[in-house]
């Protein structure tokens, strides 16, 4: 006890009067850290403050603000619409989460733990569908499930009537489509955690006489439970923030959730900014609370995973006679999640107007839509704008988080603050960030509204947390002694960062860059409020095309864009792999 306090005092004595010591060791890093803290704070804090302020402002018809009011929140509390919207949001998010967990989870278990056929097909489905813009997917499922689509066509043919089996423009429709949308990601993440779990535990249960079903129930599921829970929480959060499905299906179907309510309030004339801001603040708080719990569950899941660890190829369950059934499940999921939507897109792209799949329709097939997309200067501008903002957001985010991740992982001066600042934007649903940035831009002394830079900045803010994850874990994987050896060799901190850390970290930074680039280039919900006539990006344009009923051109555009993205990703991955073999042998 006394030794402790003596040690404590000794620490104080040597660290306090000798600022020189500290300055000597951490000088340039401190300056860098301080600059970074200021930059990050300027990026992430104003949007929150703006929203809060806006939600308490009395806003006149002409947009002028006069004083403080609680009216917007009072409206919320008294509004039965608000309760309904909140209810819709929760039902929508929870049910869609359930569907994607069931689909993705079953698939993951089959692929990782049994001897089912078609394992590669399952992976192909997941990976390709992750690269496709959501707008496209939603649209193609709307076509498949819609009035004129093949499902209802089949139904009419079978029943001989003229009704519909299924109307997608309902809450149920939204849930189904959103569930499909997320199942590939759930599959990939669950497969990873099934792969990590120790198969010996399952085998031990089988040896002790448990049936396959009991083993799954008592061992596999129990062990995977924290991971499943964390994943469910994650998907639930993303579903609450979801905009594409609610916008494309919910708005025409008059089913509103929080995100579309905010969107409509801003789009209304005159814009109901106070209403949107108070809804946004509610969402921020909701998401922040959910993320807090998610963090706790995820930590728990990590602990479970590290207990079971030890990777070796487990002996898969022999499904026996059920093997063809499992194979059929995988094929059906492949059809629903990948093949049918893509075929629907191709069909729509090749037909001049939305038409049922018929032999007669075949005769009207043409490349007209593709030619229109490839020749119109409008589409070229779109592509350029989208690439510009995505490259800007990805590059700036990785530059900032590269340094931030290093400070945080090495526990350098300011590391904790930087880490927290860079992860704050996780609480922003895209549409909410859109409202905040929109309001900020209107209050800037210079005009930035309507430029692509505004969108770029919003993307930067939103995607910094992802960059942080890549950078942070990248630094953790670099042995600290690699940097220490450089300093011991006589290099200063900045030289070490430039000559040792940066080159060794570059594969991780490149991977982060690609990830941000890909999600930014298909982002809709942030940009939808920020894109002006001169600053359209592709996802917003797709939404417009959809709303104008130009499904053909939209499909052609989407297919071409997806191909472009797949090419970019492949080139990048090729370069990255080559760079990292050059570096790491």
**Which residues of the chain form contacts with another protein (CB under 8 A)?**
3-4, 7-8, 10-11, 13-15, 17-18, 20-21, 24-25, 479, 481-482, 484-492, 495, 499-500, 503-504, 582-585
Please, what is the angle between helix 2-15 and helix 19-55, to 10°? 90
Q: Contact 398/516 with Cβ under 8 angstroms?
A: yes
Tell me if 72 sits within 8 A of 277, measured CB to CB: yes
CB of 28 to another protein, least distance (A): 11
Q: Are 177 and 246 in contact (CB under 8 A)?
A: no
Work out how close the CB of 506 gets to another protein at its nearest, in angstroms, rounded to a whole number. 9
Alpha-carbon span 398 to 513, nearest angstrom: 6
Which residue, 198 or 501, has its beta carbon nearer to another protein?
A: 501
| Cβ distance to another protein smaller for residue 22 or 124 | 22
What's the min distance (Å) between Cβ of 496 and another protein? Answer: 8
Task: Report the residue number, 67 or 585, with the smaller CB distance to another protein.
Answer: 585
Nearest-approach distance from CB 498 to another protein, in angstroms: 10
Q: 23 vs 78, which CB is nearer to another protein?
A: 23
Q: How far is the CB of 295 from another protein (least distance, A)?
A: 21
CB-side neighbour CA atoms (13 Å) of 141 = 26
Handedness of CA 363, 369, 370, 372 (dihedral sign): positive
**Contact between 337 and 129 (Cβ < 8 Å):** yes
CB of 25 to another protein, least distance (A): 6
Comparing CB distances to another protein, the nearer of 11 and 289 is 11
- Nearest-approach distance from CB 303 to another protein, in angstroms: 19
- The values of phi and psi at residue 75, to 5°, are -60, -45
CB nearer to another protein: give 17 or 163: 17
Residue listed under structure tokens 């864009």: 561
| Helix ranges restricted to H, 335-376 | 340-350, 359-363, 368-375
What's the CA gap between 353 and 347, in Å, rounded?
10
Q: How far is the CB of 502 from another protein (least distance, A)?
A: 10
Do 136 and 181 touch, CB atoms closer than 8 A?
no
Structure-token match 């719990």, residue found:
293
CA separation (Å) from 501 to 107, 377, 404, 508, 577?
40, 43, 13, 11, 18
Q: Is 492 helix (H, G, I), strand (E, B) or coil?
A: coil
Q: How many CB atoms lie within 10 A of CB 271?
A: 17
- Which CB, 9 or 443, lies closer to another protein? 9
**Is the Cβ of residue 320 or residue 585 nearer to another protein in the bound state?**
585
């Amino acid at each position: 006890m006394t030794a402790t306090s003596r040690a404590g005092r000794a620490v104080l004595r040597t660290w306090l009067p000798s600022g020189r010591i500290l300055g000597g060791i951490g000088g340039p890093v401190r300056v860098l850290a301080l600059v970074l803290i200021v930059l990050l704070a300027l990026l992430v804090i104003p949007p929150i403050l703006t929203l809060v302020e806006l939600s308490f402002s009395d806003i006149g018809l002409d947009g002028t603000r006069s004083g403080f009011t609680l009216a917007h929140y009072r409206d919320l509390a008294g509004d039965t619409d608000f309760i309904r919207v909140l209810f819709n949001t929760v039902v929508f998010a929870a049910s869609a989460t359930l569907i994607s967990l069931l689909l993705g989870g079953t698939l993951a278990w089959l692929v990782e733990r049994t001897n089912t056929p078609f394992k590669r097909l399952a992976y192909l489905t997941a990976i390709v569908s992750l690269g496709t813009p959501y707008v496209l997917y939603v649209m193609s499922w709307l076509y498949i499930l819609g009035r004129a689509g093949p499902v209802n066509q089949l139904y009419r043919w079978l029943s001989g009537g003229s009704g519909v089996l299924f109307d997608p423009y309902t809450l149920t429709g939204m849930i189904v489509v959103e569930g499909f949308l997320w199942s590939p990601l759930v599959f990939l993440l669950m497969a990873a955690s099934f792969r990590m779990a120790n198969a010996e535990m399952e085998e031990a249960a089988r040896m002790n006489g448990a049936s396959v079903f009991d083993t799954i129930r008592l061992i596999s599921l129990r062990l995977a439970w924290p991971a499943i829970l964390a994943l469910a929480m994650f998907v639930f959060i993303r579903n609450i923030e979801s905009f594409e499905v609610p916008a494309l299906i919910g708005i025409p179907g008059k089913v509103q959730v929080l995100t579309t309510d905010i969107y409509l309030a801003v789009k209304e004339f005159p814009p109901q900014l106070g209403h949107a801001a108070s809804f946004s603040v509610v969402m921020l708080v909701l998401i922040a609370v959910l993320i807090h719990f998610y963090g706790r569950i995820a930590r728990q899941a990590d602990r479970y995973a590290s207990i079971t660890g030890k990777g070796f190829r487990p002996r898969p369950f022999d499904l026996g006679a059920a093997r063809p059934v499992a194979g059929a499940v995988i094929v059906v999921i492949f059809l629903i999640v990948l093949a049918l939507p893509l075929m629907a897109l191709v069909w729509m792209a090749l037909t001049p107007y939305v038409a049922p799949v018929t032999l007669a329709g075949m005769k009207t097939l043409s490349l007209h839509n593709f030619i229109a997309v490839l020749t119109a200067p409008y589409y070229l501008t779109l592509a350029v704008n989208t690439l510009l903002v995505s490259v800007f957001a990805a590059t700036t985010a990785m530059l900032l988080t590269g340094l931030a991740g290093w400070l945080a992982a090495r526990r350098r001066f300011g590391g904790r603050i930087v880490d927290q600042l860079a992860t704050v934007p996780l609480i922003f649903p895209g549409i909410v960030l859109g409202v905040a940035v929109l309001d900020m831009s209107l209050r800037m002394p210079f005009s930035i509204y309507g430029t692509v830079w505004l969108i770029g900045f919003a993307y930067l803010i939103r995607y910094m947390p992802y960059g942080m994850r890549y950078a942070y874990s990248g630094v953790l994987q670099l042995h600290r002694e690699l940097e220490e050896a450089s300093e011991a060799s006589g290099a200063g901190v900045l030289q070490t960062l430039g000559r040792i850390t940066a080159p060794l970290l570059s594969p991780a930074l490149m991977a982060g860059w690609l990830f941000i680039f890909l999600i930014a280039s298909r982002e809709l919900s942030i940009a939808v409020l920020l894109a002006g006539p001169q600053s359209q990006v592709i996802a917003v344009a797709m939404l417009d095309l959809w709303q104008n009923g130009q499904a053909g051109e939209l499909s052609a555009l989407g297919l071409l864009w997806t191909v472009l993205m797949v090419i970019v990703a492949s080139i990048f991955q090729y370069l990255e792999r080559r760079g990292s073999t050059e570096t790491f042998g």
